[in-house]
Amino acid sequence: MPALSRRRDWTLLILLAPALAYFLVYHLIPIGGMVMAFQDYRIIGKSPFVGLKHFKMLFASPAFMQVLVNTLIISFMKIVLFFPLPIVFALMLNEVRTSFLRKFIQSTTYLPHFLSWVVIAGIWIAFLSPSSGGANQLRGLFGLPPRDYMTDKSAIRWVLFASETWRSLGWDSIIYLAALTSISPSLYESADLDGAGALQKMRFITLPELLPTMVTVFILNMGFFLNAGFDQVFNMMNDSVISVVDILDTYVYRIGLLNMQYSFSTAASLFKGAIGLVLILAAHQGSRKITGKGLW
């Protein structure tokens, strides 16, 4: 490459400056706040340095362990159990040839994605209400006694899973539909000539062609394993089920902002951040190995 084109163009930095200012103010400076986790933070006066005291308290606390277990279980349901559903949905939708039906199904199932969790939680709490909700009206049709799903510890995690599915099933299938339409029709034509049945075409053409997309989506989601969805859990939880749905984010919010134990909640948050960083790095490496492309 000629030396001229390699020359640095400092005016480009002006274009980048607003974005850099944003990163500085909202991402880099707040990192300094992490020091709170190693102090007994006081709003007024000097905060004494206490080392790992809050981390020791964190790991000795049974509440935190329960929160960690909840986060892992809920994330497992929403990432691993949910994972095949949009794929199956896209495969089924791909078989629908009637353009009108296809568009109707797509628009309908994309709809809930555009509602915020506050609204969805309102709709679901009304729908699952034991006195007037649609779910219990359905149970009544089968002669079953009404059940209050929202306050039932054994049901609430499935409510989270179901509402996540209700919201994201259609939307998450878009990427698979796009991958399906990019499969070359000549593969299916030659399979037809070889006398392959529908199942064989699925096994030897569709699934292998979809594999890179599936791997990428799965790995990307794994990076957010400890998130488990603050908005959803926060809006759907109530005091009778808090012990089984309280996740790291809601716990940090409650302890830190409501109970004002700033240092303790910063320690919890820092712990989550550290694990999250490891997961993201692992996702990056995994993605680079399998698809040849990293996350950045």
Which parts of this chain interact with other proteins (CB under 8 A)? 5-10, 12-13, 15-16, 18-20, 22-23, 27, 89, 92-93, 95-97, 101, 104-105, 108-109, 111-112, 122-124, 126-127, 129, 132-138, 166, 169-170, 198, 295-296
Please identify, using beta-carbon distances, which residue of 21 and 65 lies nearer to other proteins: 21
Residue 40 or 152 with smaller CB distance to other proteins: 152
State the nearest-atom distance from the C-beta of 56 to other proteins, in Å.
30
Are the beta carbons of 187 and 104 closer than 8 angstroms? no
Q: Structure tokens of 135?
A: 């779910």
CB of 100 to other proteins, least distance (A): 12
CB of 181: closest distance to other proteins in angstroms?
Answer: 17
Give the DSSP letter of residue 43.
S
Exposure letters 112-137 (e unless 16+ CB within 10 A, then b): beeeebeebbeebbebbbbeebebbe
> Could you identify the residue written with the tokens 């799903």?
149
Shortest spacing between CB 224 and other proteins, in angstroms: 13
Q: Are 247 and 171 in contact (CB under 8 A)?
A: no
Between 6 and 46, name the residue whose CB sits nearer to other proteins: 6
Look-up of token digits 């149970």: 139
C-alpha pair distances (Å), 11 with each of 14, 15, 16, 56, 60: 5, 7, 9, 50, 54
**In the complex, least distance from residue 99 CB atom to other proteins, rounded to whole angstroms:** 13
Residue 128 or 244 having the CB closest to other proteins: 128
Structure tokens at 69: 């277990």
Q: What is the DSSP letter of 153?
A: T
Q: Is residue 96 classed as helix, strand or coil in its secondary structure?
A: coil
| Closer residue to other proteins in complex, CB, 75/136 | 136
| Minimum separation from the CB atom of position 61 to other proteins (A) | 31
Instruction: Closer to other proteins by CB, 124 or 262: give it.
Output: 124
151 vs 191: CA distance, rounded Å: 53
